[in-house]
Amino acid sequence: MSEHIIVTGANFETEVLNSPVPVLLDFWASWCGPCRMIGPLVEQLAADYSGRLKVGKINVDEEADLASRHSVVSIPTLVVYKDGVIVNQAVGALPKQSIEALFKDLI
């Protein structure tokens, strides 16, 4: 079973801005090769940090407004929120340890 949530414009405030735990957002698209490469890593981190980190997936084709609000011009883009504020972000297919380093000191 998947540990991530699907983030949309409708649930962004509840799931991300008002989250009691840090949130890792993965901006992706089904046609994006690098997105498919890191997808399993993001899923594994969601499982590993369940309860301490929330992982949200944002499909840029379906949620263009959210992608635009986050100035996403290249995918995959990873954005970390804590207490409703962006605290870290990275672009590109990163190894698991580099993705983990984006949030590990926040939990």
Report the CATH number at residue 40: 3.40.30.10
Catalytic residue among 7, 23, 24, 35: 35
Could you list the pLDDT tens digit for every one of the 107 residues in the chain? 458 899 999 999 999 999 999 999 999 999 999 999 999 999 999 999 999 999 999 999 999 999 999 999 999 999 999 999 999 999 999 999 999 999 999 99
In a domain, 106, yes or no: no
> Cis omega (within 30 of 0) on the bond before 40?
no
Q: Residue 105 falls within a domain, yes or no?
A: no
In a domain, 13, yes or no: yes
For residue 62, being part of any structural domain is answered with yes
- Residue 57 belongs to what domain range? 5-100
> What is the tally of structural domains in the chain?
1
Is 76 part of a structural domain of the chain?
yes
pLDDT score for 106: 95
50: annotated active-site residue: no
Q: Would you say the C-alpha torsion 53, 101, 96, 13 has a positive or negative sign?
A: positive
Residue 74 lies in a domain: yes
Choose the catalytic residue: 7, 32, 46, 66: 32
For residue 89, indicate whether it is catalytic: no
Instruction: Tell me if 107 is assigned to some domain.
Output: no
SS3 10: coil
